[in-house]
Amino acid sequence: MEFSTLNPFWGPQTSYLNFCEEDYVITRYIAEFINTLSSLVYMIYGIYGLWKLHQKKQTGARSIPYCGLIGVGLCSAGYHMTLKYHTQMSDELSMHLLTTPLLYRILSFQTSAQYTRTVGIILSIMFTVVMVVHMVMDEFLLHAVTFGTAVYLIATRTLKIIPRQIRDPYTRKKVQHIALFGCASFIFGYVVWLIDEWACRALIGARETVGLPWAFYFELHGWWHVFTAIGGYIAVAIIDLLTSGKVKKDSVQQLAFPLPTISRLLSAATGLEKRK
């Protein structure tokens, strides 16, 4: 991506990935301004989740996935701010540090102690192998495939557990609606990520045409952050509800914005409120 005439505070780019946002346009201290700013959405959702747990005095191991969300936000912001190789590696490492505990929690739920240990050992070995190979050999495909597989397993396993764990049909439908919305949000984020890659020239032209601040809306990698942050938060929150046995009728209403509103809209669209 093109650089502006500003003198980059962080020096030349050393990361092997760059995105469609033009570098050092807003300030010399931040390489990709919108991509950095939008990364904070992960942190906001993670902090909200920790705050809700603290209110209920239910911290401990349940806090780990929310800390993972915060870590993804910090590492992503650091990467897009500096465009350095080591911050890119930390960004990609943080993605697996979020999905691996979620996978462990959902795959070992209601299983024997032996099976739980086996799952933990396998996931630990896979995590170590993937990250060592990725960082030593710059093998991006392995990172992408394993992350995508983890997301798929988390989504499908969660959707299977919801009917088994939530007996009340009204509450079950509400949780299913939000879980499916999380899947759709993640998929939509991936679509805009692809468009950002494939239609970069057209997007730059559109930004130049509309000017600031409207040009910010065409920074699609930033929207990838927003929508995957929503999807990631939903995954963490729903898995936490299911595996902790704390599902209540108002559980969806206690989720972060905009999910209570989304839930009401989906319920109205499917006639769920009328059948309550």
pLDDT attached to residue 271 = 82
List, in sequence order, every residue forming a beta bridge with 3; answer none if it has no partner: 23
**What is the rounded distance in angstroms from the CA atom of residue 267 to the CA atom of residue 270?**
5
pLDDT attached to residue 57 = 83
**3-state DSSP assignment of residue 3:** strand
| Average pLDDT of the segment spanning 28-47 | 97
pLDDT attached to residue 139 = 77
Supply the mean pLDDT for the chain: 92
| Average pLDDT of the segment spanning 144-163 | 95
pLDDT attached to residue 245 = 84
Binding region for Zn(2+): 80, 221, 225
**What is the rounded distance in angstroms from the CA atom of residue 29 to the CA atom of residue 52?**
34
pLDDT attached to residue 53 = 93
Grade residue 212 by pLDDT with cuts at 50, 70 and 90: confident
**What is the rounded distance in angstroms from the CA atom of residue 143 to the CA atom of residue 173?**
34
Report the predicted TM-score, pTM, of the whole model to 2 decimal places: 0.94
**What is the rounded distance in angstroms from the CA atom of residue 221 to the CA atom of residue 191?**
10
pLDDT attached to residue 276 = 63
Grade residue 5 by pLDDT with cuts at 50, 70 and 90: low
| Average pLDDT of the segment spanning 54-62 | 85
Give all domains of the chain, ordered by start, each with its CATH number. 33-275 (1.20.1070)
Residues with Cβ within 8 Å of residue 44, at least 6 apart in sequence: 73, 229, 256
pLDDT attached to residue 3 = 46
Phi and psi, residue 27, nearest 5°: -155, 150
Buried b (16+ CB within 10 A) or exposed e, 149-182: ebbeebbebbeebbeebbeeeebbbbbbbbbebb
More confident residue, 134 or 111: 111
Q: Is 12 left (phi over 0), alpha (psi -120 to 50) or beta?
A: beta
Binding region: 21, 32, 80, 221, 225
pLDDT attached to residue 116 = 94
Alpha helices in the chain (DSSP H): 33-55, 64-82, 85-107, 113-137, 140-165, 169-198, 200-210, 220-244, 259-270, 272-275
pLDDT attached to residue 4 = 52
Whether the per-residue pLDDT at 177 is higher than 70: the answer is yes
Binding region for Ca(2+): 21, 32
